[in-house]
Amino acid sequence: MKTVLITGASRGIGAAIARTFSSRGFHTVITCAHSEKALFALKAELEQGGGPCTAVVCDMSDYQAVERLFAQIPALDVLINNAGCSYYGLLSDMAPEDWMHIIDTNLNACFYTCKLAIPAMVQKKEGRILNISSVWGNAGASMEVAYSASKGGINAFTKALAKELAPSNIQVNALAPGLIDTAMNSHLTAEDLAALKAEIPADRCGTPEEIADLAWQVVHAPAYMTGQIISIDGGWT
């Protein structure tokens, strides 16, 4: 049985990805930093469906915590870096510690997990890494400069790491979702949400399940596909 680690899996896109992989025969390892109750509720749901699941409360921005997490994973076939957070506000009003929190959670965490996952993948000459980026990593968003910068960093990280690992038959790709119906967008007013939808040719938000379906497809794509930033945004960009 193959094992997938999905970070930030207590809700939204991460939870949808966990459900998809679990329902298709994977042992899922799921993490979150704060929503312990939701995480273990998801673990119970997945196990009720017949899929083995390991749930770990872990702050992915803390390297030592990530080391402890990997000590609990005997083997890893797929790594999905989904953990993330956002900040909405003017850059000039942003405190340095808020900036660092975004970078630590969204970008540094990818470094930590990849650093620890890569040696075993290289040893067996097989592995898949999928990073969850954002449309704002491609285009940038006003009032979300730190978030955009962290996701743009993920895009560059993905492309560079894919080149580094291609000789070892390890594929590294990223998804760049557009406006998805998740709690991360709860800061948007009804007016803001309507204005954004009006810009999207599909005229709606995407769903976490759509991202999960694409994640499955990318992880199981031909090995020659690597280093790609794949947009799923209803034609927005």
Task: Please confirm, yes or no, whether 147 is among the known catalytic residues.
Answer: yes
Q: Residue 116: which of 162, 163, 69, 80 has the closest Cα?
A: 69
Contacts of 51 (CB under 8 A, 6+ apart): 22, 23, 25, 26, 27, 28
Q: With contact defined as beta carbons under 8 Å apart, do 165 and 119 qualify?
A: no
Q: Residue 31: which of 3, 53, 55, 66 has the closest Cα?
A: 55
Q: Residue 138: which of 9, 6, 232 has the closest Cα?
A: 232
Catalytic one of 63, 88, 147, 224: 147
Q: With contact defined as beta carbons under 8 Å apart, do 235 and 202 qualify?
A: yes
List, in sequence order, every beta strand (DSSP E) within 78-147. Answer: 78-81, 127-132
> For the chain, how are helix, strand and coil distributed in percent, rounded to 5?
50, 15, 35
- Measure the CA–CA gap between 87 and 215, rounded to whole angstroms: 25
- Measure the CA–CA gap between 200 and 222, rounded to whole angstroms: 30
Catalytic residue ranges: 147
